[in-house]
Structure 1
Amino acid sequence: MQFRDVPWKRNLRKVPEEIISKIQQLTTDAFIVGTVKTLSAADVAGRFSHLAPPSELDEPSELLPPRDMGMYSTRNVDGWEVKRTDLPKIKKTFYWETPNFGDAATYGTHLHFHEREVYRREFHEPRFYTISTKLLKMATGAGGGGIYQLAINQPLLRTQNGYEEELFFMLNLLQENCESVGIYSADASPEEIISTLSLDWEIFPPGSNDEIVRRLTAGRKQDARKTGVVAERVKLFSLLKPNAFLRGNGAFGSYIGARYADDLVVFENMEYGNALYVLYDNWQEVSKRSRLDLIRGTDAEYDRLPHTYGWEQAFGKIMRREKKKRGLV
């Protein structure tokens, strides 16, 4: 992707020492990645227009940074993948489409499945972090602009597993979009911060497909397309007879899934909506993870099925194999 030109250094190679020092001096574990800047009217209309800085004191804006602001802005929306050549290879199932009798137009196609050893891959889901821009003090005169607070709209805990990597990601996202970085203590209590990071699932037993869809979408803002996708997933999950359905709450509000055994769970982020995960970890451990830890590490413990042609058949094949291993068929 061609990134837009910016008149500042786009990325950081490491977390600045002053940021590390500020974090060490915090009296609480919770903090926000943000900065304060004085913006002129020309800045608001020009180089910072992608954040839509507000002109009123009580009307903060909150926007998803555009992909073309830089690598971290792109990863924030699309996620990213890392091949782990430093680890032993593992067996994975691959599937692809082949024309029948060499003529797909006349005879259609069929799927091939093949297992082979490959390097493990770390897939990092998109973060969908937004940047909040708040006008703290108006500039004198009628020209506009003023003093603004710009912050990533997701607090961090320095006691959180892997927080250093997430801090580095957030700082780069802020640098790409705001020209400078900083941190400050979160206003919320540590308990409130933890509640936004901790995993929270609602678990309910199987029922009719219509009933499950209603429960998965109740109290949520859903357009017709998303509701239709939820209905499709429920139909697919139900064919394999789960013992429970899962609905994420709080920070997990965009996740739905189904549990077939304590170590066989499937789920999908409906906000992202381009891949299904089959997770083989123990559910009691999974249910304690934060949103950032839900899918972290190599894919030795899960299968990720992008929604390309034939993914439903591949999902069925994997699930039948895994259920058979567990004596569920």
Structure 2
Amino acid sequence: MSSGFRSLPDEIKAEIDSLGEAQFVFGAVKNFSEQLLADWTRRLELEEVDDEAWIALPPASTGRWSRWNITGREIVRRDLPKVFRSWTIEAPDFSGSGTHPITHSRDVFQKQRLFGQQIEAAVTRRSEPRDSLVGTVLLTLPAPYDDEAEQAYLYAASLARTWFGSATAYSIDETGIPLVPDRHVSWDFLPDGTVEDIREAVERKFGGSALPQEIEIIIDRLQKVQSLGPEKRLVGTSGLQRYIGYLFGDNFVAFENPRVGNALYLLYGDWESLSQLSRSELLSSRQGEFDRIIHTSRWFERLRVAVYNYRHG
């Protein structure tokens, strides 16, 4: 499984903020499989407490965040002013007949002791909106995003990522049950747009979290894909929601995530069904129905050849 976060990602902050006035928990939703259930319950040492519901305090062996959850930890508060500290040690005399004290003084960062909260993990099986396993961290948090609660967000998100492989914020109902949304994507088709339209859209979407040079890379990538003459562009709300799709035919779509560090995906055949999957599900179970193009120096040449081969059979 993945480890936790060093700091809370901006994407998670925005996700929390988008929930509005709500209570939520961090967790993950995966398509049901006996293998996944066995892995989660065994590795997290979960006990069945109800029909298709398992709960326990995961052991320290599952990762450092699990260990901190049990025993606590000490953190350095670099966000606070330094304080003056002095300490004394005993040093041997030059004559070798005894010792004498030496005092050191300097400004140091303050430290804070965070005690383990013994937060439990829960897994339930759901039949709606699809047959799935819902793993959650049993720590209720407030939305929208609040700077003062950032350490609590980081704590719970890191536990979710450690225990379940990912961290998504799910609103809960009045009984504390996570509200798992239907992951169906409704794709909207967009007009082609000019270079100026693309720049305006990119700056509006990524300007707050991307550096200026990254914005230029994003625009360059989108312009290059657009230059191949796709029939339509499309965007969605879940699954591959961070991607812009370029429809080159009824059964060939290129999905480009313009943020630096992400790959371009070519989906074949029933692309609408494939686009409902997360990247991890796509990579692990749908080999042969897609290709993945890493943004190396020759990424555009690979895409251009793929589009040519599709158009010419």
**Structure of larger gyration radius:** 2
